[in-house]
């Protein structure tokens, strides 16, 4: 059975994330929405890697970190430290909420869209 649905969901989430990042952040509500789009997109990114790696007969592991290592080994991502930064940002926002940390994460979000787009292209051609 093909698991292309996850790639389609990842693509749709990424489009929403990219669109959200184009909105002028006139309030913290907009920033919070962008962070939420980031979290959702990141989840679909690593889960896409997991499913496609398993389909290819690779051992991806069950954690986001192990899936990112697999993606790097397969050249699906090229900037592992940036992806690990994304993982850390996702963890900080998923497990706790502090306004100061949220603003720091928001300030980095614009750096995360390009690598996600690159991963999506790589997974579609894998």
Residue 125 has pLDDT above 60, yes or no: yes
DSSP code at position 126: -
CB contact burial 69-103 (16+ within 10 A = b; e otherwise): bbbbebebbeeeeebebbbebbebbeeeeeeeebe
pLDDT, mean over the chain: 93
Sign of CA dihedral 92, 93, 94, 96: positive
pLDDT in tens, 38-48: 999 999 999 99
pLDDT of residue 54: 94
pLDDT band, residue 102 (cuts 50/70/90): confident
Distance, in Å, from the CA atom of 101 to the CA atom of 108, rounded to the nearest integer, reads 11
- DSSP notation for 102-121: HHHHHHHGGGTHHHHHHHHH
Sign of the CA dihedral 18, 116, 94, 54? positive
Q: How far apart are the first and last CA of the chain?
A: 16
Q: What is residue 23's three-state secondary structure?
A: coil
pLDDT at 2 over 70: no
pLDDT score, position 3: 67
Residue 104's pLDDT is what?
A: 87
pTM surpassing 0.85?
A: yes
Reported as a single tens digit per residue, the pLDDT across 61-85 is 999 999 999 999 999 999 999 999 9
What pLDDT was estimated at residue 1?
43
pLDDT higher than threshold 90 for residue 103: no
Do residues 29 and 87 make contact, with C-beta atoms less than 8 angstroms apart? no
């Amino acid at each position: 059975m093909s698991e292309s649905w996850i790639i389609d969901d990842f693509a749709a989430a990424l489009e929403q994330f990219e669109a959200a990042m184009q909105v002028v952040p006139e309030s913290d509500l907009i920033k919070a929405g962008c962070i939420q789009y980031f979290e959702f997109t990141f989840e679909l990114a690593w889960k896409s890697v997991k499913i496609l790696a398993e389909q290819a007969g690779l051992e991806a592991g069950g954690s986001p970190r192990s899936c990112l290592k697999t993606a790097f080994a397969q050249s699906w991502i090229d900037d592992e430290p940036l992806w690990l930064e994304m993982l850390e940002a996702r963890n900080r926002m998923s497990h706790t909420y502090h306004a100061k940390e949220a603003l720091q994460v928001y300030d980095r979000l614009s750096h995360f869209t390009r690598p996600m787009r690159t991963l999506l292209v790589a997974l579609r051609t894998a």
